[in-house]
Amino acid sequence: MSVQDFIANEVKTNDVVLFMKGTPQFPQCGFSGQVVQILDYVGVDFKGINVLADDEIRQGIKEFSNWPTIPQLYIKGEFVGGCDIIREMFQAGELQKHFEDQGIAVRGAA
């Protein structure tokens, strides 16, 4: 299985996937940590994939999304954005609405 196939499969088979530096329990970059905090706050289950564990995945995800930075959040197979976009969507209430529109339960109104 190629790295692109692996990434496509993860994005397709998990409702919410965060490609990040570190793990959800131990983020190893501030931007990844911020996205984990936002996802935890809205109460969404997600799969974290540590790009630091595999250079091929780290490079592959940038090519997959055509987005140069990590973290990268995918919801129902769709690339939503990195830290700045996720933070702005969260602060505007758009992230919670996007989850709900995709049929993903959130912890209540922000």
Q: Is 29 annotated as a binding residue?
A: yes
Contacts of 43 (CB under 8 A, 6+ apart): 105, 106, 107, 108
Q: Tokens representing 102?
A: 């995709």
> Amino acid identity of 45?
D
Mutual orientation of helices 3-13 and 55-65 as an angle, nearest 10°? Answer: 70
In sequence order, the β-bridge partners of residue 48 are: 18
Other Cβ atoms within 10 Å of 109 Cβ, number: 7
Binding residues: 29
Binding residues for [2Fe-2S] cluster: 29
